[in-house]
Amino acid sequence: MATLQAARAKTLGLPLGSAKSWGLNRAIYYAAAKRGFKGTGGAGPARPRGTRATVREFHLGDDKAYYVTAGGKRLFTIGGDLQKPEDFRRQIERRFGGTFREAWGEALRIVQQFPNQVLESPGAFYALVYRPRRDQLAATWNERAAGHRGAS
């Protein structure tokens, strides 16, 4: 989810670092939604720990998230935590066992096949881009990563 969401954000114009922040943020958001959001509900976005930055609302098409500007970059936040590009590298890219560049290129190619209208709609993105491919991509990317680790 995080990789395709980051590719979606990049395709819709976010710089790479912000796109990776978006991808990780959306993966966290949808995982929480699946579990039923056990949080503060309605209290508004929490300011990220260790920052005085103002939390702002951002829309990627019809999807909404909160962000702060840090180091000149738009970094997304959820639950008082910033999703930084280095977090994406540690939590997502690392799982690919050295094959992330290949997976990233594939994710961009997939996402770029769709019109902005599909990419701007969270429901359409899920139904037309993510859901039909998630199992096959996960299997393919896991197999490549395992093969790469075995070849090292």
Q: Is 57 exposed, middle or buried (0-12, 13-18, 19+ CB in 10 A)?
A: exposed
Q: pTM (2 decimals)?
A: 0.88
pLDDT of amino acid 37: 65
Sketch the domain layout of the chain as residue ranges.
Answer: 2-151
Average pLDDT in the chain: 89
Please give the order of strands across the beta sheet that includes 81-83: 56-60, 63-70, 73-78, 81-83
pLDDT at 136 over 60: yes
pLDDT digits (tens, 9 = 90+) for 11-49: 999 999 999 999 999 999 988 888 886 655 555 677 787
Looking at the chain, the whole-number percentage of residues with pLDDT higher than 90 is 63
> Which residues, 6+ apart, have CB-to-CB distance to 101 below 8 Å?
none
Question: How would you classify the pairing of strands 73-78 and 63-70?
Answer: antiparallel
CB 76 within 8 A of CB 22: yes
